[in-house]
Amino acid sequence: MKRRDTLTLAAAGIGFGSLTLPLAAAGSTPATTAAPRVLRTAFPVAETGFDPAQVSDIYSRIITANIFEALYGYDHLARPAKIVPVIAEGMPEVANEWREYTIRIKPGIFFADDPAFKGQRRELVAQDYVYAILRFADPATKSPLFSSVQNWGIVGLDERRKLALDAKKPFDYDTPLEGLRALDRTTLRFRLKETRPRFVESLCVGDLWGAVAREVVEFYGDKIMAHPVGTGPLRLASWRRSSRIVLERNPTYRRVLWQAEPAADDAEGQAAAKKLSGRTLPLVDRVEIDIIEAAQPRWLAFLNGQHDVIERMPSEFIDIAMPGGKTAPHLAKRGVRGVRTLTADVTFMYFNMEDPVVGGLAPERVALRRAIGLATDTQREIRTLRKGMAIPAQSPVMPHLTGYDPAFKSEMSTYDPARARALLDLYGWTDRNGDGWREQPDGQPLVLQIATQPDQSSRDQDELRQKSLQAIGIRVEFKPAKWPENLKAGRAGKLQVWSLASLASQPDGQDIFSRYFGPQSGLQNIARFKHPELDRIYEQMSQLPDGPERLALFEQIKKLAVAYMPYKLGVHRYVADLMTDRVVGFKRPIFWLNWYHMVDVLPGGENPT
């Protein structure tokens, strides 16, 4: 009897019909008799779950980045970063002075098989992106990253969220939204309140803005964190919370070939491209991730051959593993390769600008902050605490980003305690009672309250900071608490001084200045800094296309950030990754998180050359 394959259009509650295929008719990746290619690694911090709208920690997002797919992504090897279509057919059609973006998605892309689809294969449609983004705005989701979507300025999104909050009713997913709409099964349109020439960069974060099927969310309900279902090359095979995560090849993943464009002078990248170009993704069959929080066991697991890659080498083993930034000879003889990468990040100590001691724009308060900066020995921190794995930050803009200029030098990197003491004396921060400690200009005691964490790394940093400030006559009290508690208190404006770091998520350098932008006070702007001229420049930069005029504004805003110093910038960090010679094609991403599918791991017995 002749077999008939059937096609069904199912509304599935998502607006436009989504193509579903009976599993028996869909076909699957043929079973392979070759030895499986398994990538083994470890996380130093436990995950929280795998629902893009509910997670914010980097380790959970590494997993979601390999399961869900955004409309756009980045070339694995291109440096500087190059945006490439992933689900989109091509780059967006842009209209109305960068306020309207129309994107067409590729047909014939399917979600991984899941019981939520009731035995059918579920085709991806444009409405799935609408639904996924709306989930961040739904108060019931309690997304910690709603502000990121809110910053896009989607027309009508704030009003839709406010309606749900005020009426205390379920969020409305079904009424079409002016600023975010599926025009048909494969066409998506964004309308924004303001000009945003670089909006496409916001659509490249697959771990957050990947498509989600509404049926899956409704099927699993409050268990959705354990059931990620995407269109990506890998799917979740098993999960023991805070212990082990296993990903496996998604058998329904479409045919995608390995391709990348390394720079001409990138010898390793060129060699990887020659070896891997044209092969079907993903290259690995499984990824096994152990959660090992202590640095020494994680290091020993790699040395003992239990893992193929150790990411972000713990600083205490840098001198053993990569002295001077090169792989140690005893490891190189074993076929271990080390890679050191300057990351797109910046560390900083922030001052609460609403605090009566360290805050404000009055000259004596600016002088205090700048004196603290001048007393900070950044080079000593790099040498002793970071084992040479950093460079001084001259401005908030991070390496690899638009606006970063390696020739830009500022007071941020200057260590001059004599100048710091003179600055304090000039503005009235003197020792009036002869006890060796300075008082405030009005005679009140001066004691810095610095928030910190109860871990060894923080204690080492605190000891160095205390010595620096004691040398200029400033008394310090450290207030230890766990990091999440400090973050909550910091956003509420209850800390005076605290240190943390920021990691870039897209190529444009303006995003870091949201930490200085007045309307972001209490959100990204944890220092609560407000300066009308800086706000004006920030808004102007947002609306200008890339070019010389905008780069000139980068210079202006960097100088203002340095002069008023609501943040004492620290360093841009290097990251060291080690891997065995069986791992082919690794290159640390700059600000994206998915790379597992792009590397090969040769099975035992294969010659890596």
| pLDDT tens digits, one per residue of 136-157 | 999 999 998 898 899 899 999 9
Kindly report the CATH number that applies to the domain delimited by 8-21+51-59+68-229.
Answer: 3.90.76.10
Q: In the prediction, which pLDDT does 168 show?
A: 86
> What is the 8-class DSSP label of residue 31?
P
Whether the CB-CB separation of 373 and 410 falls below 8 Å is answered with: no
- Rounded-to-integer distance, Cα 6 and Cα 172, Å: 33
Give the C-alpha separation, 561 to 557, whole Å: 6
**Count of alpha carbons within 13 Å of 46, Cβ hemisphere only?**
7
Region 528-554: mean pLDDT is 95
Query: Helix 157-167 crosses helix 126-137 at what angle (to 10 degrees)?
Result: 50
**Does the pLDDT of residue 2 top 70, yes or no?**
no
Where are the domains positioned within the chain? Answer: 8-21+51-59+68-229, 345-573
Q: Which of 595, 594, 599 is nearest to 61 (CA)?
A: 594
Closest to 600 (Cα-Cα) out of 242, 273, 212, 239: 273
What does DSSP assign to residue 30?
Answer: P
pLDDT recorded at residue 28: 43
Query: From CA 211, how far away is CA 123, in angstroms rounded?
Result: 11
Phi and psi, residue 535, nearest 5°: -60, -40
Contact between 187 and 126 under an 8 Å Cβ cutoff? The reply is: yes
**Residue range 523-539, pLDDT digits in tens:** 889 999 999 999 999 99
Give the whole-angstrom CA distance, residue 39 versus residue 24: 30
Cα–Cα distance for residue pair 313/9, rounded to 1 Å: 50
pLDDT value, residue 206? 78
**Which of 123-132, 544-553, 598-607 has the least mean pLDDT?**
598-607
Q: Which CATH architecture has domain 345-573?
A: Roll (3.10)
Q: pLDDT tens digits, residue range 60-106?
A: 999 999 999 999 999 999 999 999 999 999 999 999 999 999 999 99
pTM of the model: 0.84
8-21+51-59+68-229 and 345-573, same CATH topology = no
